[in-house]
């Protein structure tokens, strides 16, 4: 192997491929990154066996070859170099790197030992711009379950049943709260046939780790992300990279039925104001009770946020609200409430409340594509 | 107690007084902050028994009083409030706080239980502007010893023997490397008599914790910091605060004798370039050998930075240098070298080297007030 590429491109690639967390300590080669010349480019690959990423860097290839080197050392070294050309040369199992006045030799391990990263040879089911998909994932992620007892809700549901209406829906829940985000696609960016070829799939569940990795790797730009689906794997193509992840098995809960369609009271509030009131109320929750009370006064157009921890004190904040319906109060888990308002990226939110036995719904006042559902706590 | 102050001032005070780390878990009241009305202002105090800080906040006092409340809760609450007036009222042992639409009650503990923070009633020995003193402390801090076996070098020496020449000198060493910083004072900011009154003191040793706390609290401005010294305590007055710390006992080593005054070779280098070369070399050190080799080529005006860890690889960087003297090479501990160049806030540094048996000296090329001395490692 012998090639030249720029420090800037190589460093950018390592920002993506070099960050996969290896949880499999029994296979030390997973701490390495695979470098391989590939059709006139340098391909960098990394995997933790659950997900794998490939990233191609434009290079002047003088000699083909492949090797694996310790990821962190290689990434730290490249990031310390000046923005100039990097010459990479393999001699036996030692990678020789030169850039400006820097010269280094890094000991590698044979590429033969490196696990194969699977491929899906198929057409994309849909394309969507990077930033829209990233933002949607950020919004639903907090609601994903961390409990391993119900494996099917430890990922994000990608519901494809509305592709005919040019929509995909992302859903996450931990059974206490639920986030649902609908994304509208351009017709020309949908290829339903590709889905049919993959088997009779109407939805897939993407593991939480893959979602977190995608959020880290996707840029905030308008470039199109391509999503390719097979029976048990999903492939995301973006910029010069692709990321492949296994899918979670199991049947996702039929969540539609728990979302009420009638509400006793609706309150429109400023998101920043209520989020700060909730943060303050969070200072007065404790291990024994981490609940916050919301109280709606329809006459005075006030929503009151309060909490009490008997050992340390209590607190009460009044937030201006436009209220339709009756006076009402309900208790909520502090973190669930805080995550809910945290996901709303608009100025105003609507809180739709029934009695304390039915779920409460949060949405933005202007954009109904994001719905956050939260169960009140019984006092 | 009943008073009104601004959220902005109170929050600023808590940024200083609220950050002292309580290492004494046996005395839970040290997790609290003392609030006390004091001559028309609100005084906030905190101590960990080794050092104490007082901070005065301009307030409209309506009723005198005092109480202690949990520091972190109080600080987090105040920092979440809008920039408006804060009304504070004590009812029995509960502190009632109102600001805008926020209302809170925090349970306190009696001020009677709170340890007394000592005072020094004396004139300042010298005054110096905040930012100069802060910068000097930042420069010498890394060389302070962490080993508790020689307690006298676990602090920064404040050498006052050159007050006649309008100079104070700060020194830190861990016996492997040493940093010395001289600061020139204005004549009108020195009061040697105040020092004589404190006993026959020519130097004091300030504990590392107090130095770290000062670095955190001092602003980067031209305001004058006042330094007041007694036999076993030191008091710093700055802005609306004062900080008092015990002094370390013991005799500081006579370090002057170890600094060589003749050198075989001198090399002038760009600080950023060599600092980056050292950082890169640091990637190739290991638990078994964390040394870096510097090699000076007088003919080619090159300083070579290299390192090797047999398990992972090696590295070599050429840094342009203006060299006077002979070819020379020596090995240094990676971190000591890195700290040394890290302290130089000028563009060019001079490296003055003897053979590997004598200390090497680093200074800035333009400002000789900072001297960093480092012992080479024998290969």
Query: A317 at the B interface (CB within 8 A)?
Result: yes
Note the pLDDT of residue B188: 96
Query: A80 at the B interface (CB within 8 A)?
Result: yes
Scored b (16 or more CB within 10 A) or e, B338-354 reads: bbbbbbbeeeebbbbbb
B108 Cβ contact list (under 8 Å, min separation 6): B32, B67, B68, B69, B90, B93, B94, B95
Which band of pLDDT confidence, cut at 50, 70 and 90, is reported for residue A216? very high
Q: Classify residue A121: in a domain, yes or no.
A: no
Residues of B in contact with A280 (CB under 8 A): 77, 80-81, 102, 104
Note the pLDDT of residue A70: 95
Angle at Cα A260 formed by Cα A259 and Cα A265, nearest 5°?
130
CA-atom Rg of chain B in angstroms:
25
Could you tell me what percent of chain B has a pLDDT over 90? 84
* A137 and A249 together in one domain: yes
B118 Cβ contact list (under 8 Å, min separation 6): B52, B233, B244
Distance CA B213, CA B47 (A): 12
Query: A300 at the B interface (CB within 8 A)?
Result: no
Note the pLDDT of residue A26: 83
* Interface contact A315-B73, CB threshold 8 A: no
* A83 and A132 together in one domain: no
Q: Could you say which of A255, A285, A305 is where a domain stops?
A: A255
* A279 and A350 together in one domain: yes
Q: Which of B73, B279, B318 sits opposite A80 (nearest CB)?
A: B279
* A344 and A314 together in one domain: yes
- A378, pLDDT greater than 90: no
Q: Could you say which of B255, B273, B304 is where a domain stops?
A: B255
Residues of A in contact with B283 (CB under 8 A): 73, 76-77, 80
Residues of B in contact with A101 (CB under 8 A): 317-319
Query: B72 at the A interface (CB within 8 A)?
Result: no
Q: Which residue has the tokens 């040793």?
A: B205
Note the pLDDT of residue B379: 67
| Mean predicted lDDT score pLDDT of chain A | 94
* B132 and B54 together in one domain: no
Distance CA B297, CA B322 (A): 10
**Mean pLDDT, rounded, for A259-272:** 94
Q: How far is CA A3 from the centre of its chain?
A: 35
* A264 and A236 together in one domain: no
Q: Classify residue B13: in a domain, yes or no.
A: yes
B309 Cβ contact list (under 8 Å, min separation 6): B284, B285, B286, B288, B289
Query: A91 at the B interface (CB within 8 A)?
Result: no
Q: Which of B70, B101, B279 sits opposite A317 (nearest CB)?
A: B101
Torsion of CA B245, B251, B253, B257, to 10 degrees: 120
E strand or H helix at B141: none
Domain that holds residue B291: 260-374
**Mean pLDDT, rounded, for A341-359:** 90
| Mean predicted lDDT score pLDDT of chain B | 94
pLDDT beneath 70: ranges in chain B: 379
Q: Are B81 and B102 in contact (CB under 8 A)?
A: yes
Q: Which residue of B has its CA nearest to A82?
A: B276
Residue A109 carries which DSSP code? B
- Test mutation, A31, A99, A279, A283, chain B, max B CBs within 10 A: A283
| pTM tops 0.95 | no
pLDDT tens-place string over residues B267-321: 999 999 999 999 999 999 987 788 999 999 988 999 999 999 988 999 999 999 9
- A75, pLDDT greater than 80: yes
Q: Classify residue A240: in a domain, yes or no.
A: yes
B positions 260-289 inside 8 Å of A (CB)? 276-277, 279-280, 283-284
- Test mutation, B108, B283, B321, chain A, max A CBs within 10 A: B283
Q: Classify residue B293: in a domain, yes or no.
A: yes
pLDDT tens-place string over residues B70-118: 999 999 999 999 999 999 999 999 999 999 999 999 999 999 999 999 9
* Interface contact B70-A312, CB threshold 8 A: yes
Query: B379 at the A interface (CB within 8 A)?
Result: no
* A92 and A157 together in one domain: no
Which band of pLDDT confidence, cut at 50, 70 and 90, is reported for residue A270? very high
Residues of B in contact with A317 (CB under 8 A): 101-103
* A210 and A251 together in one domain: yes
- Residue A239, Cβ neighbours under 10 Å: how many? 17
Residues of A in contact with B103 (CB under 8 A): 315-317
* B143 and B55 together in one domain: no
Which band of pLDDT confidence, cut at 50, 70 and 90, is reported for residue A379? low
Note the pLDDT of residue B26: 83
pLDDT tens-place string over residues A5-24: 999 999 999 999 998 877 77
* B272 and B249 together in one domain: no
Q: Classify residue A265: in a domain, yes or no.
A: yes
Q: Classify residue B321: in a domain, yes or no.
A: yes
Q: Could you say which of A80, A113, A146 is where a domain stops?
A: A113
- The torsion angles phi and psi of B8, rounded to 5 degrees, stand at -60, -50
- Test mutation, B18, B70, B75, B104, chain A, max A CBs within 10 A: B104
Note the pLDDT of residue A46: 97
Query: A77 at the B interface (CB within 8 A)?
Result: yes
Note the pLDDT of residue A64: 98
Q: Classify residue B193: in a domain, yes or no.
A: yes
Q: What CATH number corresponds to the domain at position B152? A: 3.10.150.10
Question: How many domains are contained in chain B?
Answer: 3
* B350 and B313 together in one domain: yes
Structure tokens at B342: 């890290």
* B278 and B328 together in one domain: yes
Q: Classify residue B119: in a domain, yes or no.
A: no
Could you tell me what percent of chain A has a pLDDT over 70? 99
Note the pLDDT of residue B367: 81
């Amino acid at each position: 192997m012998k090639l030249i590429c720029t420090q800037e491109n190589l460093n950018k690639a390592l920002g993506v491929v070099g960050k996969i967390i290896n949880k499999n300590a029994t296979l030390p080669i997973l701490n390495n990154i695979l470098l391989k010349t590939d059709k006139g480019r340098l391909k960098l690959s990394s995997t933790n066996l659950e997900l794998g990423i490939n990233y191609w860097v434009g290079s002047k290839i003088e000699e083909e070859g492949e090797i694996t080197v310790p990821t962190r050392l290689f990434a730290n070294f490249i990031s310390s170099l000046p923005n100039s050309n990097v010459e990479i040369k393999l001699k036996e199992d030692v990678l020789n790197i030169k850039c400006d006045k820097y010269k280094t030799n890094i000991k590698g391990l044979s590429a033969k030992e490196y696990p194969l990263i699977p491929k899906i040879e198929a057409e994309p089911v849909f394309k969507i711009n990077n930033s829209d998909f990233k933002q949607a994932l950020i919004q639903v992620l907090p609601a994903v379950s961390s409990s391993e007892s119900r494996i099917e809700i430890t990922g994000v549901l990608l519901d494809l049943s509305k592709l005919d209406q040019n929509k995909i829906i992302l859903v996450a829940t931990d059974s206490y709260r639920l986030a649902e985000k609908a994304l509208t696609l351009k017709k020309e960016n949908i290829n339903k046939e590709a889905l049919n070829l993959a088997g009779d799939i109407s939805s897939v569940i993407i593991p939480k780790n893959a979602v977190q990795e995608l959020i880290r790797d996707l840029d905030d730009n308008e470039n199109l992300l391509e999503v390719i689906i097979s029976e048990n794997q999903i492939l995301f193509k973006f910029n010069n990279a692709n990321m492949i992840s296994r899918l979670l098995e199991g049947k996702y809960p039929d969540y539609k039925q728990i979302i009420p369609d009638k509400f006793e009271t609706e309150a429109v509030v400023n998101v920043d104001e209520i989020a700060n009131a909730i943060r303050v109320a969070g200072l007065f929750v404790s291990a024994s009770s981490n609940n916050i009370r919301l109280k709606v006064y329809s006459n005075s157009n006030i929503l009151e946020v309060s909490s009490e921890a008997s050992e340390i004190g209590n607190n009460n904040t009044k937030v201006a609200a436009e209220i339709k319906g009756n006076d009402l109060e309900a208790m909520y888990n502090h973190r669930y409430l805080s995550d809910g308002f945290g996901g709303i990226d608009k100025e105003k939110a609507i809180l739709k409340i029934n009695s304390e036995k039915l779920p409460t719904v949060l949405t933005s006042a202007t954009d109904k594509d994001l719905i956050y559902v939260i169960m009140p706590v019984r006092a």
